[in-house]
Structure 1
Amino acid sequence: MAHNDKDKRYTGLQPMEITSPRTAEKPGPQGVLNDACCAPDGHSHDHGHDHDHSHDDTNSYVPTVVSLLLLLSGIALDYFKVAWFEGPLRLVWFGIAYGLVGWKVVRHAATNIARGDVFNEFFLMSLATLGAFYIGEYAEGVAVMLFYVIGEHFQESAVARSRKSIKDLIDNRPKTVHVLRGGLPVETDPKKVKIGEVIQVRAGERVALDGDLISDRSSFNTAALTGEAKPDTKTNGERVLAGMINLDQVADIKVTSAYDNSALSRILKLVEQASSRKAKTQQFITKFAKVYTPIVVYLALALTFLPYFFVGTYVFEEWLYRALIFLVISCPCALVVSIPLGYFGGIGAASRNGILFKGSNYLDQMRKVDTVVMDKTGTLTEGVFKVQEVVVEGMEQEAFLSLLATLESKSTHPIAQAIVDYTGAQSVHSDVGSVEEIPGHGLRGRVLGREVLAGNTRLLDKFGIHYNPALHQVVETIVLVAVDGRYAGYVTIADQVKEDAQRAVRALHAMGVRRVVMLSGDKDSIVQKVASSLQIDIAYGDLLPEDKVARVEELQNQGATVAFVGDGINDAPVISLADVGVAMGGLGSDAAIETADVVIQTDQPSRIATAINIGKKTNGIVWQNIALAFGIKALVLLFGAFGVASMWEAVFADVGVAFLAILNAIRIQRMSFS
């Protein structure tokens, strides 16, 4: 199962590293795809393109365009039988057209032969096209190589678009940072900030670099690390992590790690290496090509020479031509290009929907998921406290809220902040004093000359204030208020369910997911209420991280294929264990994002169903390409062996089928999955 593989790469909260001789040697989109799809031999082949996306520049297409013009004009000159276009001039004309597009392929074939690797795509293309020149079929030799290279351009363009959409999606780090230099804040690129320098983070800004706080104090939203919306007040010398959001005053932070060591930087590296995690279909095609390629070469040799012993009118050039056609048709380009491109197209389509798949194997695994297990806070809920209900007794609600908000304004607790946000700053008075925070109970103070208590039932019990005992049964967090020794009312505070959470659960059930399960560390009464409102099948509350692991293991032991969705650092172990680990990446913790196989950047739970749908659609397109390639190639191979098909039909069976397969593969990027 997938979780066994992940156990090997994840032990504790360590950065996940994926190493591959191919991907480590050749980063970039060409390295990502060509290693998987353009080399049946399994080695990396650089087609001569730079990896800084220079293959997208117009200049990279100039040789191809010139070759095409020479080919078309040469065919026209042949057709009209122009007198001067014959002999050596004709050979040079088509030779230049061939060299412009074919020299790199021939070079790679020669290089591979020198190291003992003969049977690969480059050898097939070189043998077939140079053989065509040998028998005088210059135009056909150029056409085969030209269309092959055009297919490569098409492939690279598709990969570049997919890769760019993925990179644009996840690279949402701050683009600038204020560094103290000469005592003044200087705006600069975070990549240029050195370890030991001091950066200033203003209120509302996201911290771009890890460091130690050197200001006296500052409060930060740590939801990206904890999954909970509780503000964390840091004091001088304490650690501040990239991804936290500064909530109040300007904070000075001494940088302790470089920009490239952030979690999002590591994810970008994972995108570069995503194809090193191949789906089973991809792995099969790679192995198949290694066996298939030498077989077709030997069959071509047999087709060339064996008829000598059986055909009375044997003509070497005729049977060599048939063998060359056979070689061109049999080239596995359509398979080894279009299948990985299909998966990469699926990854690109997912990125357009705010979803990052870290490898094509997870696209395949996601389509098999029959049980989705989700954390509550930050996954199905916003992770932000909000006032739900206000009940007042014996006074006006406006006066009640004003007294309560004024007292709560003296606290940094998230519940206090929720109350102040609800009433508005205009309700907060300056006439407040003698504020006392009673740990585990609440607040006591004087507001506008009146004694106000705000806290839980234990606070009112402590001061002997009577209230309705039924309030003990309220599921949500409750703040009881007493004014001048008399009970005055209460407000309830609860985490807000995400807008599309219910739609997410409905969509999962609609697409055949058997069970939707919720696991949470929140108290069970709240968990059950949320589960009931969302129509979740099974829910468990009061769980520690190890309890979540035990629940997921229990489901797997029952034969379920489990996707676990979470966002906090405490979710990292169970994300690693699940068959598919999914992290909410907008504000998810570094550990959760790094451990996950799939990252939902939009923080929308409905994207889980989208991810499953994309996995299913991608798999369907891949098998369509396999059927298309095998079907057409088998038909034209049969015609070629009997001399019915010419080199032009061979070009279609090879490059034409590859074109159709590539078009089909990139079609998934245009599909709607909403």
Structure 2
Amino acid sequence: MSNSKNDHHDHNHNHSKNLIKPNSFLEHWDLLLALAILIIEMVVEYSIGYILPYPFNLLINIVAYLLAGRDVLKLAFIKAKRLDIFNEFFLMSVATLGAFSIGSYTEGVAVMVFYSIGEWFQDAAVNKAKRSIKSLLDIRPDVVTVKIDGQLKDVKPESVNVNDVIEVKPGEKVALDGVLLAERAVFNTAALTGESKPDQKYKGEVVLAGMVNLNSLIEVRVSRPYKDSKLSKILSLVQDATARKSKTQLFISKFAKVYTPIVFLLAILVVFLPYLWVDNYEFNDWFYRALVFLVISCPCALVVSIPLGYFGGIGLASKNGILFKGSNYLDIMTAVDTVVMDKTGTLTKGVFKVQKVEALNGFSENDLIKYAVAIESKSTHPIAKAIEQFGDLEIMNDLITEVEEIPGYGLVGLVDGKKVVAGNKKLLEKFKININAEIDVVETLVLIGIDNILAGYFIIADEIKEDAKQAVSDLHSLGIKTVMLSGDKQSVVEKVGELLGIGVAIGNLLPEDKVNKVSELKSSAKKLAFVGDGVNDAPVVAMADAGIAMGGLGSDATIETADIVIQNDQPSKIVDAIKIGKITRFIVWENIVLAMTVKIAVLVLGAGGIASLWEAVIADVGVALLAILNAVRIQRKQI
């Protein structure tokens, strides 16, 4: 703010002050003292009618002026030395010093005092918005209980090492990412995902910092250092988001750079141009009008309230389990007219279960399962995990070699010296394995080839997410076209698309096919959003206008790739992201219209000699505060 104790505050309002609280009042004693002098002087003048004689009135006003505005003057001087005179600090300095030059001491002090108070409130609002964004997610405990040589010790989370075991009591937050050592535990993940439904975890499953242990004493083996926890990454992401500006913010910054010099020129014309046609021209009168013109033209309301509005939008999204990597994506989501979605893990749960196993060509079911489990254990794909878990066998890790995963096809490798191929029909054809059986199923099919012979197959089914159908319906109600692209077989994709009511559903796509389809769709879309897992779909997530990743808590690559991360995997959050973008944009433009309407009106009144410096500064500060209050209410909105 203008009365801060540092020089880091520039025209872009890099505010660094605290909220308005007791220590903040003490910190601003000089501004408060200047306000007190101004009030006493006005009370004495208007209630008693006594005016201090010259030069005492000048001296007392200079003291009040310097207390309130010395930092503004300092910054104006620093910028002027760099030939940067078209900024709010130089503008306010010229206006107030001009008031002193024509004997309007009290008004000059009032302009500086109220301008500085307005800046103080603006700083408080901006910092509150930034802190509230951080507090939505910064839920890491300050102390963690570590088990060392059988003894429990309370330490700072930063000092805990990977593979240390921490104890988490019922009701406590997990401090670091790790693996559950207890047989079973139930967690509240609302602070991370916005989802209030308890999440049940079993031994060996991942638990994340910020989850709240609900029902029993548990132990967790730490898998990541404190600074690398998923929550730390998300915090960093949200904090960085405030630095990425929307087109509206960039436009306002550019507008202010053009607008301010125009205002200076108009103020000069207000002073000198009337000389050509006004008979009883008085320099001081027209100079005073130009000062009013300068004061009301200060672009603070726009420069502060607009970023503040976007901070509010990012905060509201975070509160609802949606992470925007920048305020520019809030704007993009308001213009999205096509949403392209992956199937597995986006519209379906991605939790596959084996429905049927069929051995062929003389292979036993036991051998089929044994070799399939072995090769699939080397993949992290959900289908591979379903087969691995179905087998419930001790995997022959020492006998598995030369494994290669071919995206969009499957896996190939050596298991106990035998060449094993596991994947779709295209993969087996690629390795010239004859599929000599009639296999016609709607569900996902995984074929297993052993030493160039079809050994059998697994039929696997996924489950549609509970809110997927409603999400698609809501998108359609917003006039948004929906498309589903998947690497799964066409019959499965069509079935899911039909159940959900998706406009276009295309299957049998390799990663490069998805890129081509998205490129084709982009050519006819205003703005296109792609929703996927952020890992397998990285190319299309990157090329979309808005790349949206499902399940940001499950994958580092998701956080890195996507523009927007939906933390709890719910497709309905896509609709929420669009609504939040629209709410933010509406309030931001409300502020722009409010500020410009009032400023233009008072500029005209000031030039016409109707508005005084008092009215100009009250209008300027008042509009700024109204715009700030309007922006702050975004975070209180319900989606």
Q: Alignment partner of 1:659: what SS?
A: helix
Tell me whether 1:325 sits opposite 2:289 in the alignment.
no
Could you say which residue in structure 2 is the equivalent of 1:457?
none
Calculate percent identity across the aligned residue pairs.
52
Q: In 2, distance between residues paired with 1:203 and 1:59?
A: 36
Distance 1:294-1:253 versus aligned 2 partners, 3 A rule: closer
Could you say which residue in structure 2 is the equivalent of 1:614?
580
Could you say which residue in structure 1 is the equivalent of 2:537?
571
Written as runs of structure 1 = structure 2, the 5 A alignment for 1:408-427 is none
Tell me whether 1:200 sits opposite 2:165 in the alignment.
yes
Tell me whether 1:125 sits opposite 2:89 in the alignment.
no
Per-residue deviation at 1:301?
2.8
Per-residue deviation at 1:550?
2.8
Per-residue deviation at 1:476?
7.0
Q: 2:232 aligns with which of 262, 265, 280?
A: 265
Per-residue deviation at 1:620?
2.7
- Aligned residue type for 1:129: T
Q: In 2, distance between residues paired with 1:436 and 1:345?
A: 52
Could you say which residue in structure 1 is the equivalent of 2:267?
300
Q: 1:280 aligns with which of 221, 243, 247?
A: 247
Could you say which residue in structure 2 is the equivalent of 1:512?
479
Per-residue deviation at 1:388?
9.8
Per-residue deviation at 1:334?
2.3
Alpha-carbon contact 1:70-1:97 (below 8 Å) kept: yes
Q: Alignment partner of 2:578: what SS?
A: helix
Distance 1:173-1:581 versus aligned 2 partners, 3 A rule: farther
Alpha-carbon contact 1:476-1:494 (below 8 Å) kept: yes
Q: 1:99 aligns with which of 56, 63, 66?
A: 66
- Aligned residue type for 2:468: A
Alpha-carbon contact 2:348-2:463 (below 8 Å) kept: yes
Alpha-carbon contact 2:534-2:561 (below 8 Å) kept: no
Q: 2:495 aligns with which of 489, 513, 529?
A: 529
Per-residue CA shift, 1:242-264, capped at 9, x if unaligned?
Answer: 8899xxx9786686xx5434564
- Aligned residue type for 1:329: I
Per-residue deviation at 1:595?
1.9
Could you say which residue in structure 2 is the equivalent of 1:72?
39
Tell me whether 1:604 sits opposite 2:570 in the alignment.
yes
Tell me whether 1:551 sits opposite 2:487 in the alignment.
no
Q: In 1, distance between residues paired with 2:597 and 2:81?
A: 34
Per-residue deviation at 1:199?
2.0
Per-residue CA shift, 1:382-426, capped at 9, x if unaligned?
Answer: 33357999xxxxxxxxxxxxxxxxxx9xxx996599999xxxxxx
Could you say which residue in structure 2 is the equivalent of 1:669?
635
Written as runs of structure 1 = structure 2, the 5 A alignment for 1:244-263 is 259-262=226-229
Tell me whether 1:475 sits opposite 2:440 in the alignment.
no
Alpha-carbon contact 2:176-2:222 (below 8 Å) kept: no
Alpha-carbon contact 1:358-1:598 (below 8 Å) kept: yes
Q: Alignment partner of 2:502: what SS?
A: coil
Tell me whether 1:59 sits opposite 2:23 in the alignment.
yes
Q: Alignment partner of 2:245: what SS?
A: coil
Alpha-carbon contact 1:178-1:199 (below 8 Å) kept: no
Distance 1:279-1:375 versus aligned 2 partners, 3 A rule: same
Per-residue CA shift, 1:338-362, capped at 9, x if unaligned?
Answer: 2222322322332333222222211
Tell me whether 1:375 sits opposite 2:342 in the alignment.
yes
Alpha-carbon contact 1:166-1:356 (below 8 Å) kept: no
- Which structure is higher in RCO with an 8 Å CA cutoff and minimum separation 6? 1
Written as runs of structure 1 = structure 2, the 5 A alignment for 1:424-435 is none
The alignment's TM-score, normalised by the length of structure 1, stands at: 0.67
- Aligned residue type for 1:370: D
Could you say which residue in structure 2 is the equivalent of 1:395?
none
- Aligned residue type for 2:38: L
Per-residue CA shift, 1:218-276, capped at 9, x if unaligned?
Answer: xxxxxx9xxxx999989xxxxx998899xxx9786686xx5434564344344334344
Q: 1:335 aligns with which of 288, 299, 302?
A: 302
Distance 1:576-1:73 versus aligned 2 partners, 3 A rule: same
Could you say which residue in structure 1 is the equivalent of 2:454?
none
Q: In 1, distance between residues paired with 2:484 and 2:339?
A: 9
Tell me whether 1:157 sits opposite 2:121 in the alignment.
no
- Aligned residue type for 1:199: D
Q: In 2, distance between residues paired with 1:203 and 1:338?
A: 42
Per-residue deviation at 1:580?
0.3
Alpha-carbon contact 1:367-1:616 (below 8 Å) kept: yes
Could you say which residue in structure 2 is the equivalent of 1:363?
330
Per-residue deviation at 1:477?
8.5
Aligned length: 531
Q: In 1, distance between residues paired with 2:495 and 2:124?
A: 50
Distance 1:232-1:667 versus aligned 2 partners, 3 A rule: closer
Q: In 1, distance between residues paired with 2:487 and 2:138?
A: 31
Per-residue deviation at 1:511?
0.9
Q: 1:354 aligns with which of 321, 346, 359?
A: 321
Per-residue CA shift, 1:186-221, capped at 9, x if unaligned?
Answer: 453332346xx642368999894699x9x9xxxxxx
Q: In 1, distance between residues paired with 2:354 and 2:300?
A: 61
Q: In 2, distance between residues paired with 1:273 and 1:108?
A: 27
Alpha-carbon contact 2:316-2:580 (below 8 Å) kept: yes
Q: In 2, distance between residues paired with 1:352 and 1:435?
A: 43
Q: Alignment partner of 1:298: what SS?
A: helix
Distance 1:86-1:507 versus aligned 2 partners, 3 A rule: farther
Q: In 2, distance between residues paired with 1:550 and 1:177?
A: 49
Written as runs of structure 1 = structure 2, the 5 A alignment for 1:416-495 is 473=441, 475=443, 494-495=461-462
Q: In 2, distance between residues paired with 1:105 and 1:122?
A: 6
Q: In 1, distance between residues paired with 2:345 and 2:135?
A: 23
